[in-house]
Amino acid sequence: MLRAFGLLLFFWLGLAGASAEARTLELTPLLCVGGAEDLEEALALPVSDLDCSADRFAKRDRFLRSHAVIPQDFDTSEQRFSWQTDPAKYESMVLLFIFADGSERRVDVDPQMAARKWFVRTRFSVPVPLAEAPLASIDMVVERPRTYAVTREARLVERGEAGAEHYIRSLVYALLCGLLIVPIVYDLLFMRMLRFRFMVWHAVMTFGMLVFVLSNSGLIFLIFPDAPLGLRWQLNTGTLALSAIAAVFFVLDLLEKGKVPRILSRVLLSFAALVLAVKTISVLDLEPLRIWSHLAFLYAMLPLSITLLAVIGAALFRDSRGAMYLLVAFGGLVIAGVLSILTNLNLYHPPFHVHDFLFAALVLLVLGSSAAVGDRFMVLRVERDRARIRAIKLGRMALTDSLTGLANRRAFDSVEVIEQGQALLVADIDHFKAINDEKGHTTGDAVLCHIASLMRENFAGNPASTIYRLGGEEFAVVFSCSGEEELRRTAEALRHHIDRNVGEDAMGIPHVTISIGGAMGQGLSVEEVFARADDAMYEAKRAGRNRSAIADAEGRVGLVCQGT
């Protein structure tokens, strides 16, 4: 991504150099404006009656006429020029080119001609008609303009230089669109692993900016050549509103809990709702609000931008990790947005081109917000993994006997079925109560731990086995077993292992024996199999203890094996 940023910067510098050499005449300072109710009335207005004051563009008549006298030192006879302006949205337009010899050329510009003749960066071009005499003045009459920019942003530019600027800027904006696609893919890939709401808002915000760049630059007409001019205008403001609202939720969701003052977040959400409401009204395109609805939208964006920056600043003051990335990401864009809004409102004109600054801010936003998403994603993923590990540990603790480390009764009760090919052994330490009474509970606990250790040793070769301490001196083992004969051998092997390895001389604890009962699973419920094995174990105890007994497939107990 840094490489892409460097490439974009290279193109941007080249663009600035190309623009600096372009032979361009900005007509804004030369324009005088008048209003009328129809086309003929507007064209008939005497030049002396036109308004040349500072607030001359703030007119809301149905038809607006602008008149610009071309300076004599700007010779248009030797080179071919194009007239350009920001078309925004209008109903009809007439251009009248008046030459020094008194000849006139009239060009009717319908909205779709403005779409077909698009020029990168919210402009369109009309070739100045050829004439032997130099151009003396230009008159424009536009019907129902939706913004002041339609009248105000007029200029003359030499066609060759304009073609070079159009080509370079188109490449830059195309590259920017490609760069904006990257974080969307980035978010979608992240969401396949973990889904956080801020990634959704980041994807929506970036998508809105992508469509805004496509629309604002005019590249949309390459994709959809017949797209109405009014659609472009609505997309410009609509996607800007979408990106701004998504940015609000993105910032509030990404910042750590408790880092944003509640009052600030409420104010920010209120301004977001205001932007949405004003944009909805502007879509209705009501005649009394034709100009005001767009101005209101710009005015609504201004406090939203400032409050968004205030929220990030407040979070940064509270040591928010994410706020550092967001300040870098949104700082430039908010400044560029405020300057753009002030320029559109004719309140301030910076010494540099706002669109170029906005372009650099967009690149910074992509890099900064993507870094913020990545950093927050990793932090939350680590926190979630730790929580999952804690939950697993707590779950294991809940299912583990704290004394012996074996699975406990709760774990045994969670078993529903003893499957075919599995068997159950139930074992009970003989005369364990006497050990506790005569030797004390400490010795009793030592006996239990040692029995558990010996049972682990005995079943170490059967990885599918699980040993449970059911409570007191009672144990159970669920393990894979091919049939009753193997079950008998396993029960006797366990009994002998305990009998040989627990005793006063070996461990300093009393010699103990166990009685064992067993039953095959046969896919029966654990309750039924346990009842059979438990009956077999008590049969072994009744037969004299230190014995094993097996219940057959019908539940009958037999083959009691006597200990030596």
- Best CA proximity match to 206, nearest among 369, 3, 376, 371: 369
Catalytic residue among 158, 161, 473, 484: 473
Regions in the chain scoring below 70 on pLDDT: 1-22, 344-356, 394-397, 504-508, 558-564
User: Structure tokens of 285?
Assistant: 């395109």
CA torsion angle 485 486 487 489 (round to 10): 90
Question: Cα(250)–Cα(254) distance, rounded to whole angstroms?
Answer: 6
Clarify whether 383 is annotated catalytic. no
pLDDT for the residue numbered 211: 93
User: Structure tokens of 97?
Assistant: 């080119």
Beta bridge partners of 36: 63
Name every residue whose Cβ is closer than 8 Å to that of residue 68 and which is 6 or more positions away in sequence.
27, 30, 31, 32, 137, 138, 154
Task: Provide the total of helices (H) and of strands (E) in the chain, helices listed first.
Answer: 18, 18
pLDDT for the residue numbered 355: 67
CA torsion angle 219 81 105 99 (round to 10): 150
Q: All domains of the chain, ordered by start, with CATH?
A: 28-153 (2.60.40), 162-390 (1.20.1070), 409-562 (3.30.70.270)
E strand intervals along 212-319: none
User: Structure tokens of 362?
Assistant: 């967009």
Question: Cα(452)–Cα(463) distance, rounded to whole angstroms?
Answer: 16
| pTM, two decimal places | 0.68
pLDDT for the residue numbered 20: 40
CB under 8 Å, gap of 24 or more: what pairs does 129-133 form?
129/97, 129/105, 130/80, 131/77, 131/97, 131/99, 131/101, 131/103, 131/105, 132/77, 132/99, 132/101, 133/77, 133/99, 133/100, 133/101, 133/103
Q: Residue with structure tokens 């034709």?
A: 290
